[in-house]
Amino acid sequence: MTDTVKMSSRVREHKWFTPWLLVAPATLWLCVFNLYPALNTVYMAFTNKKPLGGGEFVGLANFARMLDDDQLLYALTNSVLYMLVCVPLLTMLPLLLAVLVEKKLPGLTFFRVAFYTPVVASAVVVALIWNWMLDDRGAINAILQALKVVQEPLPFLTDRWLLLFSAISLTVWKGLGYYMIIYLSALGNVGRELHEAAAVDGAGPVRRFWSITVPGVRGTMLLITILITVSSLRVFSELYVMTGGTGGPGGRVSSVVMLIQMYSTGFTGHLGYASALSLLLFVLTLVPMVLLARLNRKDG
């Protein structure tokens, strides 16, 4: 705040209402289409609301029910694992990919467009292909057996941990192109002169990557880390398609969002419990978000 005072004493910044005019449309949308429904979710978490009927106040019953929910425990474990694997992979791989397609080479446009295609692919197609590749007699098991890496086919689609691993691969596959694009637009701001100077000084590509590219896109990297953290906690479609919507044997390969989906869909959905789960998810996601936002502010 003291900053502001100093600055405005030097140069008249802007009329007091200008920023508000600028953020007004976004704020309106925020309130109508995001905050209002969210507040409603908070309200419903304390009721036994169903899609048609219900809605009596039940106090903390929905939250008490969480303590006794094995599936929630599985879901939380899975989310943590997801985060641990996805955050490093999806922060680095798309950056490497962006550096790879940044330089001018003949035919590069084609590659750039091609790399983005998984992002726009329909989940059904993706599920079909991945199941085809990962099943007992699928391409990947065939390769592994041919290379004598394994004797028996690996149960990618049925074993709890392998299934989770398969879903994570799918997330990474779909995320590559998406984050690559964000990095690409940020790479424009990394000074080429710095690269050249470093090259003249004899710094190899690896060193230049770590000492120039990475610091240059740091702000973007933090934003992407936040996005990945949040989406890891909120993972849904990959687990959903890989388990055919069941959450795997015993429901051990599900996520919190899958539970929300399970409890809230259909005519007899338990909207109260689903809302309570949404609140839990919100609080859980808040922790890494606040940490990262704080880091971001220091940098910014």
Give the tokens for residue 223. Answer: 């934003």
Tokens found for residue 239: 């687990």
Is residue 208 at the binding interface for other proteins, with CB under 8 A as the rule?
no
For other proteins, the binding residue among 2, 9, 25, 148 (CB under 8 A) is 25
- CB atoms < 10 A from the CB of 259, how many? 24
The backbone torsions φ and ψ at residue 22, rounded to the nearest 5 degrees and listed phi first, read -65, -40
- Which part of the chain contacts other proteins (CB under 8 A), choosing from 80-88, 143-151, 258-266? 258-266
**55 binds other proteins per the rule CB under 8 A:** yes
Residue 16: which H helix or E strand, with range? none
Under 8 Å between Cβ of 241 and 19:
no
Exactly one of 194, 203, 214, 295 binds other proteins (CB under 8 A); which one?
Answer: 194
Lay out the site mask for other proteins across 155-184 (x = CB under 8 A, - = otherwise): x-xx----x---------x--xx---xx-x
Lookup: tokens for 43: 């309200």
Burial of 29 (0-12, 13-18, 19+ CB in 10 A): exposed
Mapped onto helix, strand or coil, the DSSP state of residue 47 is strand
Minimum distance from CB of 81 to other proteins (Å)? 18
Give the range of 77-85, 143-151, 286-294 binding other proteins by CB under 8 A. 286-294
Secondary structure class of 296 (helix, strand, coil): helix
- Identify residues 68-87 at the interface with other proteins (CB under 8 A): none
Q: How far apart are CA 14 and CA 227, in angstroms?
A: 32
Q: Which of 2, 3, 59, 201 binds other proteins (CB under 8 A)?
A: 3
Q: Which stretch binds other proteins (CB under 8 A): 76-84, 143-151, 283-291?
A: 283-291
Q: Which of 47, 79, 171, 213 binds other proteins (CB under 8 A)?
A: 47
Token digits for 173? 């596959």
- The helix/strand/coil state of 53 is coil
Contact range with other proteins by CB under 8 A, out of 39-47, 80-88, 143-151: 39-47
Closest-CA residue to 93 (of 215, 212, 168, 175): 175
According to the binding rule CB under 8 A, does residue 236 interact with other proteins?
yes
Per-residue binder mask for other proteins (CB under 8 A), 89-128, x = binder:
--------x--xxxxxx---x-xxxxxxxxxxxxxxxxxx
- Radius of gyration in angstroms for the set of CA atoms belonging to the chain, rounded to a whole number: 24
| Segment lying near other proteins (by CB under 8 A), choices 11-19, 80-88, 143-151 | 11-19
Q: Closer to other proteins by CB, 85 or 159: give it.
A: 159
